[in-house]
Amino acid sequence: MKSVVFVFIALGLVSCGSSTRLGGPSTSLRMTPGAHHDNALHHDTRISVVTTFSTLNSFVEAVGGSYVTVHNLVPIGASPETYQPTPQDIATLADAQLLVENGTGIEVWLQHTIATASNPNLRILILSDGLKHIDHNPHLWMDPFLASLYVGKVARALSLMDPPHTSVYQRNAAAYQQKLAALQDEIAKAIATIPPQRRTMIVFHNAWQYYNDRFGIRTVGVIEVSPGQEPNPSYIASLVDLARKYNVRAVFSEPEYSPKIAQALAKSAGIRTVSDLYDDSIANNARVHDYISMLRYDTGVIVKALK
Ligand SMILES: [Zn+2]
C-alpha cells in the first residue's frame, strides 16, 4: 500500500506530456494530459465518480458509500461494446474527478470521449489492468472472485484520492468482498444441482467466459464473436452441430440484443432460447438492480434452463 501511495505522489509531481499510466498488477491511476494535481483532494464534498457502465456501479457504491457520487455513461439496457457516446457524456466527464472503466477493449469509444472532455483533473482507474484475461475477453467481472479484485482496486483508488477516509474505504471493501465470497459459494451450490453433462451453454456474446470457467460450465459456442458483427449462415450451422454434439439445452442472450439469430439457431437445434440474462448492464427493475442481485438472478435463470 505504502509503495502505491508513493508512486502516486511521484506521479503528481511530474510534468505531464502525454497520458501517464502506472503499471503493476495492483491499482494504477492514469492522469489526463496536462494534469497538475495536488497529491490529495481537499474536499468537503463527495468524490464525483463516473463509471462506464452500470454493472460497475455496485463496486464503487459499495466502497465509496456516502463519500462518492456515482454516475454511469452507458445507460441501463444498452451495450458498452457498441455504445455511441453523447454530448452529455462529454459534459459529465468534463466535471468528474474519477473515471472507472473496465478496460480490455470493451469501451472502444472511450478514449475519444476522454480526449474531447479535456478535463485536466480527471483520474482514471482501469479495473482489468494487470489481471489475467482470456483471449482479450473483457468480461472479467462476471466471476465474483475477479469482481472482488476490482473492489480492492476501487478501495485503493479512492484512498489515494481521499487519504483521510482510507480506513472507511478499506472496511467497506472488505465487507463487500465478504458478500462476494458468499455469492460465489451460493452460485457454486446452485450450479452443482445441474447434472454435469448438462452444464453447457451457447451464448449470444461471450460475457460468460469467466463465470463459466469459475463454475464449471462449458461454453460450447458464441453467436456474435465480435461486437456488432452478424455471423454467416455456415457459422450458425456449425453452432447447430455443436449444440447437438454437446447436448446443449438452450441458447442464452441478453435483452439488449435482437433475439432473431439466437431464436433461429435454437429452432434449428430444437432447443430453447433464454433471452433475459444480464451481464454488461443491470436492469431497471428490483430483481436485477445491482451486481449481486444480477448474478443471483442470472444463476437462477441458467439453473432453470439447464436442469
Ligand atoms: Zn459484453
Reported as a single tens digit per residue, the pLDDT across 254-289 is 999 999 999 999 999 999 999 999 999 999 999 999
168 C-alpha vs ligand 1 centroid, how far in Å? 32
Closest among 53, 11, 57, 48 to 32, alpha carbons compared: 11
Q: Is pLDDT above 70 for 121?
A: yes
82 C-alpha vs ligand 1 centroid, how far in Å? 9
200 C-alpha vs ligand 1 centroid, how far in Å? 19
DSSP-assigned letter for residue 259: S
pLDDT at 6 (0 to 100): 32
Residues 72-101 have a mean pLDDT of: 97
Contact, 95 vs 127, CB < 8 A?
Answer: no
Q: Which domains does the chain have, with CATH numbers?
A: 2-183 (3.40.50.1980), 192-306 (3.40.50.1980)
Residues 232-244 have a mean pLDDT of: 96
Contact, 220 vs 251, CB < 8 A?
Answer: no
Residue 217 pLDDT grade (very low, low, confident, very high; cuts 50, 70, 90): very high
88 C-alpha vs ligand 1 centroid, how far in Å? 23
Average pLDDT, the chain: 89
User: Partners of 124 in the beta sheet?
Assistant: 30, 99
CA distances (Å), origin 179, targets 60, 182, 193, 253:
15, 5, 22, 27
Would you tell me the crossing angle of helices 166-191 and 291-306 to the nearest 10 degrees?
Answer: 10
Residue ranges of E strands in the chain: 29-31, 47-53, 68-74, 98-101, 123-126, 200-203, 218-222, 250-252, 272-274
Q: Is pLDDT above 80 for 17?
A: no
279 C-alpha vs ligand 1 centroid, how far in Å? 7
144-191 pLDDT, tens per residue? 999 999 999 999 999 999 999 999 999 999 999 999 999 999 999 999
Contact, 37 vs 31, CB < 8 A?
Answer: yes
139 C-alpha vs ligand 1 centroid, how far in Å? 6
